[in-house]
A and B are shown apart, each in its own frame.
Chain A
Amino acid sequence: MTTIEAIGLVRRFHRTTAVDGATLNITAGVTGLLGPNGAGKTTTLRILATVLARDSGSLRMLGRDPSNPADRLEIRRRLGYLPQDPGYQRGFTVFEFVDYIAILKEWTVRRARHDEVRRVLDMVGLSDVRDTKIRKLSGGMRRRVGLAQALIGDPELLILDEPTVGFDPQQRLRFRDMISQAGEGRTVLLSTHLTDDVAAICGRIVVITAGRTVFTGTPSEVAATAAGRVWSSADRDPAADVAWRTEDGRFRNLGTAPDGAHLLTPTLDDGYMLLVGTPGADEVAA
């Protein structure tokens, strides 16, 4: 069953159109929303997390439409959300904060709620610091607190906005592991601008730029979109949209390959860049 079905989502802020016709079809497993900064990923996720209303377009989540108050409540009951900058209540310990969110998630019985808080803190490996004040924790651990609160109540749908940004490589690996585990038996939608994150944990990718979905598919399908458009040359090829020097001293070129060019096997990065970041990318994606 499709968890999220969005067609033509539109959302404007004053004069900017942050989301301009995003289309999504998300099912169980981990899906990555991949796009450059300013592509509208955060706004899209906020709409899906029922924090923002959409201006137009159709949206069904877990079989319900968030415009409808009763449905919205039901969606929120099955949702876990980690915003980009989660914030925390001043002076709270890890346990107190997660406990507070659990109250907001309708866990009214004290003992059951505390057991649940302990369970999610265990899942993210923060059991030993549950009496520590959050302000004393490192950024990485704070983000884990954020993930813990998203996991309260075992939600069917997890929405994570740029969960690994600002992490060093080690932290990123650990967090990816946690997300993969959390993704079992659930739908996880995470946004990022880092291709190695999606390559590592996402079964499907939605590439988004300028508020629009430009491609949906598996990582290898994204790579395949660059087939025939990646080639190698001794010097920077002027015909290329983008080129850079690789380890062996030669140049990797992306764009319309000239005849007889030495073609290379495309990677996820190549596909992504051609879909998104280069001048003339609109024509390429068409």
Chain B
Amino acid sequence: MTSSEAAWHVAGPVCELYAQGALDPVIAASVEAHVAACADCREQLTPTADSTRLHAIFAEIVDRIDAPRANLVERVLQWFGVRADIARLLVITPIVRSAWLLAIAAVLLFALAAASADERAVLGFLAVAPLAPLAGVAIAYGSRTDPVHELVVAAPFDKLRLLLIRATAVLAVSVLVITPIGAFVEDRSAAAWQWLLPALALAAVTLALAERIDITVAAGAVGATWLAIVVGMRVNHTAAAMFGGLAQIIFAIVAVCAGLAAFVGRDRFNYSGGIWK
């Protein structure tokens, strides 16, 4: 086989035929093998290609590279029917913050202490668990903790909706983390769910208050009041009574009322959205 390698290149007409698919398969294979190793002949092929098509392909490539990686949680949310941009907002809520992690850790400690089925410890868990999502909500929105808050306020996106989205993210993560912890607290594992409605009620009240005062201050006030109530009622009631069926109904009513109040006052929130007035 004699091939003068230095001289063999793909001539113009052969390029055209190759691009049209009109070459004998063996010759085409020969062209391909050569092109794989010869930059000049690759250049020869370039004009034969459909530039519109190549541009369209590149636009898609750029978009795929640019697109912030939709992580697992986003995809799961979208699978459940959540709109893509809302899923994105949910996922980028600044959840991992030291203050909030401390709150979760405190809950853990209480739970571990309560594993001994001591009634006081159970009460401790039920009192502290709702504070964890509350702390999360407090830091999920507002100028103290959101470095981009000015831009958020100036943007058209509904502020209360954004707060709700972030609060939902916080609550969801809280439930996922704390519920299994709660199951350890007692054999009954009623404690695993008895903290949920109180948490919802506290969050709802905080949201309603956030329309008038700074959300961090509101959360602090609500949390402190809650603890005061629990401690005060402890004197005369058992944990079972304080968190039993009737109490759960009361929590639910509080949550709904606070939610309605928040809805009614939403325009107020939309203006200064947490900026101290």
Do the two chains bind? yes
Task: List chain A positions with a Cβ less than 8 A from chain B.
Answer: 46, 49-53, 69, 72-73, 76-77, 79, 81, 83, 86-90, 93, 95-96, 99-101, 103-108, 110-111, 113-115, 117-118, 130-131, 149
Contacts of A99 in B (CB 8 A): 68
- With A and B bound together, what is the CA distance between A284 and B125 in angstroms? 70
Contacts of A110 in B (CB 8 A): 67, 84-85
Residues 75-118 of B, flagged 1 when their CB comes within 8 A of A and 0 if not, give 00000000111001100101000000000000000000000000
Contacts of B32 in A (CB 8 A): none
Q: With contacts A53-B271, A89-B148, A90-B94 known, is A81 near B154, CB below 8 A?
A: yes
A106 touches B156 (CB 8 A): yes
A49 touches B94 (CB 8 A): no
- With A and B bound together, what is the CA distance between A158 and B271 in angstroms? 19
- CB nearest to A89 among chain B residues: B148
A108 touches B85 (CB 8 A): yes
Contacts of A76 in B (CB 8 A): 154-156
Contacts of B63 in A (CB 8 A): 111, 114-115
- With A and B bound together, what is the CA distance between A51 and B159 in angstroms? 12
A52 touches B154 (CB 8 A): no
Out of B83, B92, B153, B156, name the residue touching A51 (CB < 8 Å).
B153
A81 touches B147 (CB 8 A): no
Q: With contacts A89-B92, A99-B68, A106-B157 known, is A53 near B148, CB below 8 A?
A: no
A118 touches B147 (CB 8 A): no
Contacts of B83 in A (CB 8 A): 108
- CB nearest to A161 among chain B residues: B150
- CB nearest to B151 among chain A residues: A101
Contacts of B271 in A (CB 8 A): 50, 53, 69, 72
B277 touches A105 (CB 8 A): no
A79 touches B147 (CB 8 A): no
- CB nearest to A101 among chain B residues: B151
Out of A73, A87, A105, name the residue touching B150 (CB < 8 Å).
A87
The CB with the most chain A CB atoms within 10 A, among B67, B155, B277, is that of B155
Q: Closest 9 interchain pairs by CB?
A: A87-B147, A104-B155, A76-B156, A104-B157, A81-B154, A83-B150, A69-B267, A96-B68, A103-B85
B84 touches A86 (CB 8 A): no
Contacts of A86 in B (CB 8 A): 148, 150-151
A100 touches B92 (CB 8 A): yes
Contacts of A81 in B (CB 8 A): 150-151, 154
Looking at the assembled complex, report how far the CB atom of B91 sits from the nearest CB atom of chain A, in whole angstroms.
Answer: 11
Contacts of B147 in A (CB 8 A): 87-90
Contacts of B163 in A (CB 8 A): none
- With A and B bound together, what is the CA distance between A137 and B70 in angstroms? 24
- CB nearest to B277 among chain A residues: A53
Contacts of A79 in B (CB 8 A): 154
Q: With contacts A87-B148, A88-B148 known, is A49 near B67, CB below 8 A?
A: no
The verdict on B248 contacting chain A, using a C-beta distance below 8 Å, is no
Residues 42-83 of B, flagged 1 when their CB comes within 8 A of A and 0 if not, give 000000000000000000001101111000000000000001
- With A and B bound together, what is the CA distance between A51 and B148 in angstroms? 12
Looking at the assembled complex, report how far the CB atom of B78 sits from the nearest CB atom of chain A, in whole angstroms.
Answer: 11
- With A and B bound together, what is the CA distance between A79 and B155 in angstroms? 8
The CB with the most chain A CB atoms within 10 A, among B67, B84, B148, B152, is that of B148
- With A and B bound together, what is the CA distance between A99 and B85 in angstroms? 10
Q: With contacts A76-B155, A103-B157 known, is A51 near B150, CB below 8 A?
A: yes
The CB with the most chain A CB atoms within 10 A, among B66, B83, B272, is that of B66
- With A and B bound together, what is the CA distance between A117 and B63 in angstroms? 11
The verdict on B179 contacting chain A, using a C-beta distance below 8 Å, is no
Looking at the assembled complex, report how far the CB atom of A71 sits from the nearest CB atom of chain B, in whole angstroms.
Answer: 11
- CB nearest to A49 among chain B residues: B154
Return 11 A-B CB contacts under 8 Å, by A number.
A51-B275, A52-B272, A76-B156, A100-B88, A101-B151, A104-B156, A106-B156, A108-B84, A110-B85, A114-B63, A115-B63
- CB nearest to B149 among chain A residues: A87
Looking at the assembled complex, report how far the CB atom of B154 sits from the nearest CB atom of chain A, in whole angstroms.
Answer: 4
Contacts of A108 in B (CB 8 A): 83-85
Contacts of B62 in A (CB 8 A): 118
Q: With contacts A87-B148, A110-B85 known, is A118 near B92, CB below 8 A?
A: no
- With A and B bound together, what is the CA distance between A100 and B146 in angstroms? 13
Looking at the assembled complex, report how far the CB atom of B79 sits from the nearest CB atom of chain A, in whole angstroms.
Answer: 16
- With A and B bound together, what is the CA distance between A105 and B151 in angstroms? 10
Out of A52, A53, A130, A149, name the residue touching B151 (CB < 8 Å).
A149
Q: With contacts A51-B154, A100-B92, A103-B157 known, is A130 near B85, CB below 8 A?
A: no
- With A and B bound together, what is the CA distance between A50 and B235 in angstroms? 50
- With A and B bound together, what is the CA distance between A70 and B157 in angstroms? 13
Residues 113-151 of B, flagged 1 when their CB comes within 8 A of A and 0 if not, give 000000000000000000000000000000000011111
The CB with the most chain A CB atoms within 10 A, among B63, B153, B154, is that of B154
